[in-house]
Structure formats: structure tokens, C-alpha cells
């Protein structure tokens, strides 16, 4: 709406390569590689009005785009004999991206961000597993990775941002000076303030694991699987930045006095790291009630890794600059004006691993032979140090943080019906109740509230048609339609804002002759209007 241009255009090109080599009857190798380049408009966000529930048009006034190059490849080696299968998978991925964001998502000149990233990621996994018809089956494996990530994420405060975000701190100080008999106003004299942020965040880790399965335990059809995985991961952060805001004292009837020589530039030169070990056990039972029905029960521990919020850099440097300025001019500050020291960077920028115990029980059955398949699952998750999305004080920028304990439980139902040789139908429904069990952000108690971004209900209904022909000018005709529904998604911890139920309909149809196929497809045929992100 600001310049009458579309924001979300996209151009992508790339390619894939796959090679397979049967070196001998027992030894095979395969190599896959893919390359993709994308140039797109980005972040088509409209400001949300809580009173009306309406989302405004996109009105950003600075370029928002995302250009990225992604190359990934892996080499897989496999050796097998009558007793075992040995595999090795080696991977490498390269990422180079350039993201520009009008970070206030409005037509005001407040923030702009330009984030440049380069990543080199290496992985290696070696596994060996039994291959026989015995009741006892086993597997062992080892995994390692190294990830080198460099991020340059400068933020620029523009004139409206200086006036609305940074200047109010010095307006408060000016008022206190005036109350103390020192008339005058401290002004930020910069037209814009450029805050660089250079990050090196290398990480590496390793794991070893084992799993054993015993079939026909005590009775035919009963099997038990037990496994354990030992994980180690280390993440480092090197954060470099230097910036300065220029101040002046405006006294009525006099020229502005430059204060910028009273204090130095603010410098951040931080090296921190964090590492952790995780022992991840798992046990599951499976029982074949009939040749077409089995039930299962499993218990397993899982986790999400630690990390650093480099998106916090602008707020971190903003606090540091204000602190350094106050220290520089403290001789003129009244004793009643408290200079707040910034929190340690490690406490602000890092978050802890999330862990969970996951319990699942289910049944899978062929209710009508060759016609109707069904599966039902019940689950419960006990989560500690839940990782959730929060927003920085200014509201412009998001980061991950830990939010105490949480419970998540629910059920999933899947039905697949083969209506004829050409028609199949699918029904999938999921219910999830995910709530905070213990979370207080020092202002509000969110105990019992729903966890943001977790839909309570998901529903999918699909119909597929597939017809093959012989001795015809065409080999195949296919068509499908699917309706996906979602309800209800809360956007933040207080549960004030939510996305109500919505459903979208997708469809496609096509035909094939030999190796050539032609497809027509459409998404959101009903033109449903909904919010995808908050």
C-alpha cells in the first residue's frame, strides 16, 4: 500500500543430481546433490488491531527481501552380507543468504535490518545393524557434526526510531535535570544510528546409540525394543560490535552544546560458550493381535538443543550505549536518576535446552481387508524448559526463551479407504491440549494457559482418483482434492489473541504419457482469509 507494489514476488531456480553405483553385489554407493537460488520479496506483515480484529494492509516503506543460495550433497556407502548391514552417510551443506527487513513493518522510518549469513555444515553417520530372521535384532551407530555459521546483522535506527525509541530515555533525564534546577534538553543529534553486529557461532557435537529388538517375547506376536542414545553438543558465540550515538545539550537561547566528547563509543567484544550432555533412553512394546491388527506402547526422552538469539543484538547494543552515555555524563545527572547496568550478555542472548518425556499408545488395523485401514494414537508429553517465542522490548524482533514446564496431550485418528480401483479417500484428525504447567515471566502467571502456535484441532479430508490405461494415447489420468482445517491457535502466552477455525481447499489434476506429465493445481480455492503468523 505504501508504493503500490507487491511484496511477496519470488523467483527460484535450481537442480538436483542423483548417482547410484552398484560396485559389487554387496557394496553400493549413491551420491545426491541439489542447488537452489531464491530471490523473493519478504515479510508481508500487516499491523493487527486488537479492538477490531482486522489486519491492516502491508505498508512497509523500506526494502524487504530475501536472497539465498543453498547447496547440499551427501555420499552414502552401504555394505551388506547375510548377517549385517553397514552404512556410512557423509553430508555437506552450504548456505549464503542476504535478508533485508523493514523491521517495524509500517510506513514509519524506525528500524531496518540487513542480515548476511554464511554457513558450512558437515555431518557423518556410521551405523551397523543385524540382517537375519532371528527373533533378536540389533543396531549400533555413531554420529557427528560441525556447523560453522557467520552472521553479519547490522540494524539502522532511522529518524522516527531515534525519536520514538531512543530519545524518550533522554527526555526523562532532561525532565529530572529541569526539576533539579538545570534547564535544558539533551538531544540525540544523529539523523540515523548504524549498529553493526558480527557473530561467529560455530557448533559441533557427537552421539553414539544402540537399539535392540526382541520379537516373539514370551508369546507369538509380542516384541520389545529398547534403545539409548548419548548426545554431546557445544555451541560458541563470538560477538563483535561498536557504535556511538551523538548527544547535544539544548539550552534556551543558546546554541546546542556537543556532548559526544564526554563518553567513548560503546564496544562489545564477547566470547561465550555452552555445552551439554543428554542421555536419551527409549523403550517400546508391540503386539500383533491378529495378522491385520497390532497395538503399541512407547516411552522416550527427547530434547531441543541450546542456542543464541543473535536477533537480540540491536537491543543489547542499545542498552550498552545508553549505559555508557549515562556514565559519561554522570556529573550532571541528579543522584535520584538511577543508571541501570545492562544484564550480562550471556543471560540475555542464550537459551537452555528443552527436554521432554514422551508417552504414546496406539493401535493400527486393517478393519476391512484391502479396503479400510485405521490408526489411532494417544500421547502425553511432559516438557521442561519449554522453548517459546518472545518479542524484544521494542516489539520489533523476536527471540527464543525458556518458559518453565508444560504438558501436552491429545489423540490422532487416521482412516484410509480404498473405494474402488481408482478412488481412495483419507481422513486425518488431531487433537492437542498443550498448556503451561509452571510459567511466570515476572509480570504475569501463565499457568494453565495454552502454548502459543500450537493448534488445538487439525483436520484433513482428501480424495484421490488415479486411472491407468493400456494401448491408449494416454497412460494415466489423476486428480485429487484436499480440505485442511485448523482450530484454534493462540498467538501469545496470555491467550488474548488467537486465530479462529479456518479451512482451505487445494486441488490438482493431470495426465501422463510415458515420462512426460502435465499438471494443473490450485491452492486455497475458497480464497480463505486467515493469519499465518503473529
d(CA 302, CA 383): 9
- Tell me the residue length of the chain: 534
d(CA 319, CA 177) in angstroms, rounded, equals 21
pLDDT recorded at residue 331: 72
Q: What is the DSSP letter of 444?
A: -
pLDDT for the residue numbered 396: 61
Strands of 247-250's sheet, edge to edge? Answer: 185-188, 247-250, 257-258
Q: What's the pLDDT score for residue 48?
A: 87
Per-residue confidence (pLDDT) for residue 140, from 0 to 100: 97
Going by C-alpha positions, the residue among 398, 491, 388 that lies closest to residue 441 is 388
Q: What is the DSSP letter of 448?
A: T
Decide: 425 and 419 in contact? Cβ < 8 Å: yes
C-alpha separations of 142 from 124, 131, 229 in Å: 8, 19, 9
Residue 111's pLDDT is what? 87
Task: Write down the pTM of the prediction.
Answer: 0.86
| Cα 101–chain centre separation | 18
Mean pLDDT, consecutive 10-residue segments, the chain of 534 residues? 86 97 96 97 88 87 94 97 96 96 89 94 98 93 97 91 87 80 85 92 97 92 96 95 91 85 91 94 95 95 90 83 83 70 85 95 93 97 92 72 92 96 96 93 87 95 95 93 95 90 97 94 94 85
Number of Cβ within 10 Å of residue 402's Cβ equals: 17
Contact 30, 18 (CB under 8 A): yes
Amino acid at each position: 500500500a505504501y508504493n503500490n507494489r507487491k511484496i511477496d514476488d519470488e523467483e527460484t531456480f535450481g537442480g538436483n543430481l542423483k548417482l547410484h553405483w552398484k560396485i559389487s553385489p554387496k557394496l553400493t554407493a549413491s551420491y545426491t546433490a541439489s542447488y537452489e537460488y531464491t530471490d523473493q520479496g519478504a515479510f508481508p506483515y500487516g499491523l493487527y488491531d486488537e479492538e477490531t480484529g482486522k489486519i491492516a494492509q502491508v505498508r512497509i516503506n523500506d526494502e524487504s527481501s530475501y536472497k539465498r543460495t543453498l547447496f547440499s550433497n551427501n555420499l552414502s556407502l552401504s555394505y551388506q552380507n547375510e548377517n549385517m548391514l553397514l552404512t556410512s552417510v557423509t553430508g555437506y551443506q552450504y548456505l549464503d543468504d542476504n535478508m533485508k527487513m523493514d523491521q517495524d513493518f509500517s510506513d514509519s522510518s524506525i528500524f531496518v535490518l540487513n542480515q548476511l549469513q554464511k554457513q558450512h555444515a558437515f555431518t557423518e553417520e556410521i551405523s551397523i545393524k543385524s540382517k537375519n530372521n532371528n527373533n533378536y535384532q540389533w543396531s549400533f551407530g555413531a554420529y557427528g557434526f560441525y556447523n560453522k555459521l557467520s552472521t553479519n546483522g547490522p540494524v539502522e535506527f532511522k529518524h522516527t526510531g531515534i525519536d520514538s525509541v531512543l530519545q524518550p530515555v533522554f527526555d526523562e533525564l532532561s525532565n529530572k535535570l529541569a526539576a533539579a534546577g538545570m534547564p535544558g534538553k539533551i538531544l540525540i543529534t544523529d539523523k540515523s544510528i548504524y549498529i553493526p553486529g558480527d557473530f561467529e557461532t560455530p557448533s559441533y557435537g557427537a552421539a553414539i546409540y544402540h537399539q535392540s529388538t526382541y520379537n516373539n517375547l514370551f508369546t507369538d506376536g509380542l516384541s520389545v525394543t529398547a534403545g539409548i542414545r548419548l548426545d554431546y553438543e557445544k555451541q560458541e558465540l563470538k560477538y563483535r560490535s561498536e557504535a556511538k550515538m551523538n548527544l547535544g545539550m539544548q539550552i534556551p537561547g543558546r546554541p546546542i552544546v556537543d556532548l559526544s566528547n564526554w563518553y567513548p563509543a560503546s564496544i562489545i567484544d564477547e566470547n561465550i560458550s555452552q555445552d551439554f550432555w543428554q542421555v536419551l533412553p527409549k523403550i517400546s512394546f508391540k503386539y500383533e493381535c491378529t495378522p491385520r491388527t497390532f497395538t503399541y506402547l512407547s516411552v522416550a526422552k527427547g530434547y531441543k538443543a541450546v542456542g543464541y538469539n543473535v536477533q537480540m543484538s540491536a537491543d543489547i547494543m542499545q542498552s550498552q550505549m545508553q549505559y555508557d552515555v549515562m556514565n559519561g555524563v554522570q556529573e550532571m545527572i541528579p543522584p535520584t536518576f538511577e543508571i541501570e547496568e545492562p544484564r550480562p550478555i550471556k543471560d540475555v542472548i542464550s537459551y537452555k535446552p528443552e527436554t521432554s518425556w514422551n508417552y504414546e499408545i496406539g493401535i493400527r488395523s486393517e478393519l476391512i481387508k484391502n479396503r479400510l485401514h485405521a490408526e489411532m494414537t494417544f500421547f502425553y508429553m511432559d516438557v521442561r524448559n519449554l522453548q517459546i517465542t518472545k518479542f524484544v522490548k521494542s516489539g520489533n524482533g523476536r527471540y527464543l526463551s525458556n518458559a518453565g514446564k508444560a504438558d501436552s496431550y491429545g489423540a490422532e485418528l487416521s482412516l484410509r479407504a480404498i473405494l474402488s480401483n481408482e478412488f481412495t479417500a483419507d481422513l486425518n484428525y488431531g487433537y492437542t491440549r498443550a498448556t503451561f504447567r509452571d510459567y511466570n515471566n515476572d509480570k504475569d502467571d501463565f499457568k494453565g494457559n495454552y502454548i502459543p502456535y500450537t493448534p488445538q484441532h487439525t483436520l484433513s479430508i482428501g480424495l484421490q482418483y488415479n486411472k491407468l490405461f493400456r494401448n491408449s494415447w494416454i497412460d494415466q489420468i489423476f486428480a485429487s482434492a484436499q480440505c485442511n482445517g485448523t482450530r484454534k491457535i493462540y498467538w501469545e502466552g496470555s491467550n488474548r489473541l488467537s486465530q479462529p477455525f479456518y479451512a482451505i481447499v487445494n486441488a490438482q489434476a493431470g495426465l501422463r504419457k510415458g515420462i512426460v506429465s502435465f499438471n494443473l493445481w490450485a491452492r486455497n480455492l475458497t480464497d480463505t482469509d486467515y493469519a499465518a503468523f503473529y
